[in-house]
Amino acid sequence: MPNFIFCIHNHQPVGNFDHVIEESYENAYLPFLKAVREYPSVKLSFHITGYLLDWLLENHRPYIDMLREMVKKGQVEIMGGGYYEPILAVIPPQDRVGQIRMMSDKLEKIFGKRPRGMWLAERIWEPQLPRYLKEAGMEYVVVDDYHFVKAGMKKEELAGYYITEDMGSALRVFPGSERLRYIIPFQQVEKFVENVRWVETLGTNPAAIFADDGEKFGTWPGTHQWVYKEGWLEKFLEAITENSELIKPATFSEYMDNNEPIGRVYLPTTSYMEMGEWALPAEASETYTNLVNEVKTWPDGERVRRFLQGGFWRNFFAKYPEANWMHKRMLYVSEQLAVSSKQLTAHSSQLTAHHLLYQAQCNDAYWHGVFGGLYLPHLRRSVYENLIKAENLLEIVSGKQKAVSSNSSQLTAHSSLTQEADFDADTFNEILVRTPSINLFLSPHNGGSIVEMDFRPKAVNLSNTLSRWEEGYHHKVRTQSEKAGSGEAKSIHDLTASKEEGLEKYLFFDRQQKVSLVEHFLKKEETLDSFKKNAHEEIGDFFNKPYENNKGQGSRVKGQVVFSRDGKVKDQSVLVEKKITVKDNEIDVKYRVAGRGERPFAPTTNTDQLLKFGIEFNLILPCCDGSEGFYDVRAKDIGDKGLESTGEIAAIRQIGLVDKWTNMRVDFSFDKEVSLWRFPIETVSISEAGFERIFQGSCLFFFWDIALDTVFETQFTIKVESI
């Protein structure tokens, strides 16, 4: 008789909105568990990630009480995992073990039983994991049958579990069925019964294993209506109960205790099939998707598809430099915490710092597939918020800084810090200037630009923007528009909804990552529209080019860094020097642009001699483009003040960006009049609800009309403060 292992994984990312979690609770989590409880013979292997578990304990304690009763009766086996659902392979070893043990401790406290096995986040498997999972007390893990197929096995060989190991640390590995993932809950219940009958032919005591997201049972579009109102779940549970001679419900542990492993396997580095598509670069992703769809139509397509594999999860760090920087910042904080742990005895702030670090390791913000992930600013913001708070606490523990209210912009410190290191692992050093109020990460190799600018009292990374990268699915957005206009029927591959019309108008992409303090030399006639669409011409070789770090000059003043570059503009030699000085919550920037002449810059009416010299900033406040955020220009009425507004402002000396949601502001003050182009950075991405436009920050381009036969100098100050 086939065993049926029914494994449900419920997850919410750290930093998700309360109303979104509440909606999932009402539409999926609660009705699902209530329904299963009414069928005591149906067993669950159940996983809840730590952030969601804590939310349920705080907001819906009766749900936890109901689950505890089901565990006590033996209907539910609680599974462990990394507390905040990290990709274990890309966090430090001590954090892998720490997160799993933290989860096991919490589950044992709530349910009275320590988990024996675990859910692996996004089923990201790498061969070195068994030793760490075993060290953390895990006996088994569930991945996809896809992992086993990529090891050369056939699906007919996967009706049970296998043994794998690393350096002698053995672990049991269960293969979740891809076929069942597409049947449950989307197809008629009879398809599930047919699959179980097929599994029955595969050996003695075989197992049909379903392991997938609980959000499929009511949160995904259309599923609440189908699963509950149209009765799919009730029919499914009745089918299991009524077919007791065919289906034997079991948990992973029950099956493992009563059945020997089928054999030994060494799984390759992989995840589920769809992840391989998403991790590829845009062109490769589109080509791979088309190839897989084509192979499916071949008479012997399954024979070929078995050996097709897409990309590798870590390639998201190559695909998105923002994800790479965020990941390496996380590693830097983990390293600081590890050093602190060795040097200091246990301290309440130090323990809290571990929790903050673990929250920053939640996987969702580091990648993008069908779900928003990296494209959602509030998830990225949560990562940085936790990292900055952890660093602040570590300074308190080490005695370098005194704790004060987060509403204050003044932190008492012994000294500022300037550190040079390869923070993002690209073989080129970055520079960190840290004061009590500011973290400023500068990249000499990337134009002496600002890669990250943190306001520490509010734990906000103001540089937390996302560039407009091309995606493999963007051709579908254009195709939708074309077919909508032609009246042609859409193929199944084009049937992806859009949340608004005209998204194809926003499909222009950035040449490089959107960072700040970036110099541009443009033609005098260049326009805001061309700059916004990245269709402008760079007439100099300064954009994204290496700058010299003049250490001798910068080291004379604490918190000061000096950059320079000898380059070309219109085939003429030009020297650009910029001096950045950070004091508490202010950043002072001085520029000197020296062309072939030595005479001081002065306004001229000879437009043939002029070009635009400008400095680009890309910033995002926690309010994003909400009503609580706006531009503040005291000298002029600029009309639309929203941070998502577009326009040109001439001859100003001051502009502020205000966030009333978190009560903070960023002010730019100039020593001479400057013109400004402003526009929103907006991406087009895909989510489970369709294509959508997302605000990723505000681009500010400050510029002057200058002549190359002059020496142009300017100075401005950036001040970040609580209000």
Q: Please report which helix (H) or strand (E) contains residue 469, including its range.
A: none
Q: What secondary structure letter does DSSP report for 362?
A: B
Instruction: List 430's β-bridge partners, or say none.
Output: 421
Which residues, in sequence order, are CB contacts of 457 under 8 Å at separation 6+? 404, 406, 407, 408, 409, 411, 437, 722
Give the dihedral sign, CA 178/28/4/192: negative
Q: Examine residue 31 and say whether the peptide bond preceding it is cis (omega within 30 degrees of 0).
A: no
Which residues, in sequence order, are CB contacts of 598 under 8 Å at separation 6+? 711
Q: DSSP readout, 256-321?
A: HHHS----B----SB--HHHHHHTS-HHHHHHHHHHHHHHHTSTTHHHHHTT-----GGGHHHH-H
Amino acid at 386: N
Asked about 598 being catalytic, the answer comes back as no
**Cβ neighbours, 10 Å, residue 457:** 24
Decide: 363 and 82 in contact? Cβ < 8 Å: no
**Cβ neighbours, 10 Å, residue 499:** 11
How many residues make up the chain in this entry?
723
Q: What secondary structure letter does DSSP report for 101?
A: H
Which strands form 417-421's sheet, in the order they lie side by side? 417-421, 430-434, 438-443, 449-455, 460-461
Q: Two tokens at 398? A: 């080490």
CA separation for the pair 376, 441 (Å, rounded):
23
Which residues, in sequence order, are CB contacts of 61 under 8 Å at separation 6+? none
Pairing of strands 710-722, 599-600: parallel
Amino acid at 475: H
**Cβ neighbours, 10 Å, residue 637:** 6
Residue among 122, 212, 395, 454 flagged as catalytic = 122
Amino acid at 166: D
Asked about 26 being catalytic, the answer comes back as no
Which residues, in sequence order, are CB contacts of 152 under 8 Å at separation 6+? none
User: In a 3-state reduction of DSSP, which class is residue 340?
Assistant: helix
User: In a 3-state reduction of DSSP, which class is residue 429?
Assistant: coil
- Characterise 235 by phi-psi region: left (phi > 0), alpha (psi -120 to 50), beta (else): alpha
Q: DSSP readout, 204-252?
A: SS-EEEEEEEGGGTTTSTTHHIIIIIT-HHHHHHHHHHHTTTT-EEE-H
User: In a 3-state reduction of DSSP, which class is residue 20?
Assistant: helix
The closest alpha carbon to 337, from 404, 387, 380, 379, belongs to 387
Residue among 200, 213, 494, 632 flagged as catalytic = 213
CA separation for the pair 178, 198 (Å, rounded):
14
The closest alpha carbon to 271, from 183, 169, 176, belongs to 176
Residues annotated as part of the active site: 122, 213
